[in-house]
Structure formats: structure tokens, C-alpha cells
Amino acid sequence: MNFYFVFEGKTEPIVYKKWLSVLLPDLTEVDNFDAVNKNNYYYESDMGVPSCYRVAANAIQEINDFPKYNYLVLFTDADRFTVAEKKAEADAQIKLELKDKPFKTLPENCQLEIIVQKVCIETWFLGNRKFFVRHPQHNSILKKYIEYFDVSTSNPEDLASEFVQDEQNTKDIFGYKTKALFHEGYLREIFKERSSASNKSFSYHKSKPREVQEKYYLEQLIARLEANSDHLLSFQEFIKFCLKIKGQLNQ
């Protein structure tokens, strides 16, 4: 079973590669799309939206030329949209990109999966209760964020749900123009507090996500799902996808 992954951002390949080594350890990465054989994956990343739709359309051409893939998987942020809206947008935009391409669909043995991160991948990272600092002693900004919305008790996907973000980003919340930027900012403040309260240096950067890619961090996100089945529903979709694939690999 082989996979062609398209990651919208720069953080996703770093994190997902580590997570997949835990969730689907039988998969191995290859450097070229035509190098897959058995239980391999190839990926393209860091092109943003809407370029990721063009890359997905190009991937469909490559998969038709080299039909050894079983899944084409697009990973993208929901941003200001719902998961359903983002999936519909992705599907429509990929079809639009395919209009002038020789191949309009995937081969019969391959299917498209769209994994939407609501609101963004940092939203998922906010779900680690053990890493969260409920009573910060060194960070007044984090205190304000927690007073506004405690991500350890409420679903991180609902953070700033009442904030109406327009296309021109004319509004802001805590100085952030988008929900995704606020979610990332909240996460950064948690890491700052962790660093201030310990002898270890913690930081979060999109190009160097560090702790969030580690097995212990992933395990705590899964534990959050087990404790609160109505939290991080988009992350649950990713975990369910991995469980489905694991079952197929073991057949």
C-alpha cells in the first residue's frame, strides 16, 4: 500500500513523518514519486493555499503515470471555514485545476482523502493537557488567554469561535488578524511559560516544531480524545484514518 501526501504547510511534513512512524510504523518514505513499491509514501509540502490544490492535481497526473498508489492525501487547514466547507472547497478547486490536465480522475485503485486541520495544526497541539500550564506564574499574556478561553477544559477547536474573520482580515482578536494566528500565538505562550517554569528551553516555531512531533506529545493528544470524545474532532478523523490504514496493512 502506497501513499502520496500533499502537505499545505511547512510544519506538517516534520510532524506527520514522526507521528506516522508511531501510528503506521510499517510505512517508509521515498525521495521520488516513482520510487514507491510496497508500504511507501512520497510527499510534497509547503506551498500554501491555493497552490496545494494545483499540486494535488499534478499528483493525480503522476499517479496515473505511475499507478502504484492507493491513496492521495491532502492535508490542509480549515482556517475560517468549517471542516465540511474546506473539504468542499478543496474538492472543487482540485477539479478546477484538472480541467486542462490529461487525467481528470485518479486510477480505480487509488482514492483521494482530505484531512482538514480545524482551525490549523496548532489547534491540535493545544490539546495536550499535561503540557498546558493552567496557572502561569511568568506570563501575563497567557493568563489573559486562559481567562478568555481555557483550552485544557474546552475544545481547542472552539477557541475564538465567535470571532468573525473576513476575507480582508480587517478585524482582530488579541491583536491577531486570523483565528489560525491566534491559535498559534496561544501555543507559543504555553511554550514560553513552560520554558520559564523549568530548566529546559521550550519553544515553538513552524519550521522547528520540536516537542509537538514527539511520541509522548502525540500520546497525550490521543489521551485527550479518549477523555473527551467531543473534542478535537478533526484530529479524530486523522487518527481514524490511520487506524483504518493500519487494519488494511495487517490484512
Residue 142's Cα: distance from chain center in Å? Answer: 23
| Alpha-carbon span 93 to 116, nearest angstrom | 15
Q: What burial letters (b/e) apply to 230-250, b meaning 16+ CB within 10 Å?
A: ebbebbebbbebbeebeeeee
Supply the pLDDT for residue 42.
98
Measured at the CA of 240, the angle between CA 237 and CA 242, to 5 degrees, comes to 110
Alpha helical stretches, state H, the chain: 11-23, 51-65, 83-97, 121-125, 140-148, 179-196, 215-227, 233-249
Locate all alpha helices (DSSP H) within 105-178, ordered by sequence. Answer: 121-125, 140-148
Q: Which amino acid is at 237?
A: E
Torsion of CA 59, 64, 69, 74, to 10 degrees: 30
The pLDDT of residue 177: 94
pLDDT score at 22: 98
Task: State the DSSP code for 173.
Answer: B
Along the chain (251 residues), what's the average pLDDT of each consecutive run of 10 residues? 97 97 98 97 96 98 98 97 98 98 98 98 98 93 98 98 87 95 98 89 94 98 98 98 95 77
Three-class SS state of 76? strand
pLDDT value for 198: 83
Q: Are strands 3-7 and 40-45 parallel, antiparallel or unpaired?
A: parallel
How far apart are alpha carbons 183 and 8 in whole angstroms?
A: 17
